[in-house]
Amino acid sequence: MPLVFAAITPHPPVLIPEIGKENVSKLVKTKSAMEKLERELYASKPESLLIISPHGKVMADDFTINLAADYTVHFQEFGDFGLELKFRSDYRSIQQIRAADEGQRGVPLVLSSTTEIDHGFGVPLHYLTSHQNQLPIIPVTSAASSLEQHFAFGKFLHRQLSSIDKRFAVVASADLSHRLTQDAPGGYSKRGSEFDKKLVSLVKKNDVAAILKFDRALAEEAGECGLRPIAMLLGILEAVNVSVEALSYERPFGVGYLVANFKFS
């Protein structure tokens, strides 16, 4: 079985000590949960980590896999001009994934080759690879298409990963509502909390059908960036028997941060 680890993580740059400084103490549950995830990931002995981000260059209908040889993350836009994170590419697995559909082009997948990757990848990787900094990664960027299409692409990824003789970890980088408080980045909406409560509950129950049918108007009003990566992750896991352990949920800065571990039976 190629899948050995799966999780949902948030991606707030403030969680990185060099950026958040004293504000990291307001995310103590999230930080502790990420550190627990890191231990779980290390114990699973992965040979490659596929990570899904909702940021970067998002295409209307196409999913993007970055096929650069190496990757770098900087955080200048968040006020830190010195921190630089570097990661290796699992380019052979990426080439195999792409080659599987190259003849028919039945899957809306494009390859990019950009050494700079965004904080949607960088923040989770900062924690999850702290003891495995040579772990190769497969950076996947979600599209602007429907949840059902993300789920279907996840199923495609599962088929391709299953054909590769390698132990894979999969992570959905996903923040929830950005509109939870008056000073939230997206402004305030009373429906932000409604969105987070509903999605967290559905994730805990692993209610895939309900997540894929999630109220689009509610998601739009909540200002979220997590549903699509989560839907893709659920597609990857569709044929796998898992239970969900919600490790933490916090919202001190007006954005919902969920950390969840998918336990393999």
User: Into how many domains does the chain fold?
Assistant: 1
Q: What sign does the dihedral 127-222-117-158 (CA atoms) show?
A: positive
Q: Are strands 70-75 and 80-88 parallel, antiparallel or unpaired?
A: antiparallel
Strand, helix or coil for residue 240? coil
Q: How far apart are CA 97 and CA 146, in angstroms?
A: 22
**Does the pLDDT of residue 131 top 60, yes or no?**
yes
Residue 9 contacts residue 51 (beta carbons within 8 Å): no
Mean residue pLDDT of the chain comes to 96
**pLDDT the model gives residue 1:** 54
Tell me, yes or no, if the pTM score tops 0.75.
yes
**pLDDT the model gives residue 2:** 87
Which of 137, 110, 123, 131 minimizes the C-alpha distance to 51? 137
**Does the pLDDT of residue 104 top 90, yes or no?**
no
Range(s) of the domain holding residue 237: 3-264
Q: What sign does the dihedral 135-136-142-148 (CA atoms) show?
A: negative
**Does the pLDDT of residue 166 top 80, yes or no?**
yes
Please give the radius of gyration of the chain, using alpha carbons only, rounded to the nearest integer.
17
User: Do you know the residue count of the chain?
Assistant: 265
Q: What is the mean pLDDT of residues 70-97?
A: 93
What CATH number corresponds to the domain at position 251?
Answer: 3.40.830.10
Q: How far apart are CA 171 and CA 52, in angstroms?
A: 6
Q: What is the DSSP letter of 2?
A: -
Q: What is the mean pLDDT of residues 122-151?
A: 97
